[in-house]
Amino acid sequence: MSIYGRIEDDLRDALKSGDKNRVSVLRMIKSAIKNREIEKGEPPTDEDVQAVLMSFAKKANESIEQFSKAGRTDLAEKERAELAVVRQYLPEQLDEDRIREIVRETIDETGAAGVKDMGRVMKAVMAKIRGQADGRLVNNIVRKMLEA
């Protein structure tokens, strides 16, 4: 079953069980996917759905960070709960050690010699890990490894 199909089924189940938070998050996701479908003029692929989910996850992480800095733990917790729903549909996230391995392999493959080759390395790494790690984390790791 496609990711979009799973989301629709889970939305139906959440409506039946009365889980308001889950219903709200799944409706937002479904709406964003529908918008992407209208933009492209064709049914969404799993890659399209994954891109929407990654966007939601990125926004939620940024919001959690901002709310935590501002001392708004109530809003940060709400975002964490929403992020937990989104993460159920994303591939399992890679840990930092595995990301470092992939970056090291990619640097060797591309022959990158320094920070000037960062764009080329980032493009290759992000293609390999597609949705399995936050781009900001990958960017920091690549930068540190190319500077060393």
Mind listing the pLDDT tens digit for each residue in 18-41? 999 999 999 999 999 999 999 999
Count of domains forming the chain: 2
Summary mean pLDDT of the chain: 90
Q: Indicate the residue among 87, 112, 134 that finishes a domain.
A: 87
- For residue 122, give the CATH number of its domain: 1.10.10.410
Report the candidate in 62, 57, 37 with the shortest Cα–Cα distance to residue 47. 37
| Total-model pTM | 0.76
Mind listing the pLDDT tens digit for each residue in 45-80? 888 898 899 899 889 989 999 999 999 999 999 999
pLDDT(87) > 80: yes
Phi and psi at residue 95, to the nearest 5°: -85, 165
Q: Indicate the residue among 70, 87, 104 that finishes a domain.
A: 87
Contact between residue 47 and residue 2 where contact means Cβ atoms under 8 Å apart:
no
State both tokens at 56: 């939601």
Give the pLDDT of residue 70: 93
Give the pLDDT of residue 148: 76
Q: Indicate the residue among 87, 105, 139 that finishes a domain.
A: 87
pLDDT(131) > 80: no
What percentage of the chain carries pLDDT values higher than 90?
Answer: 55
Phi and psi at residue 93, to the nearest 5°: -80, 140
State both tokens at 15: 């409506």
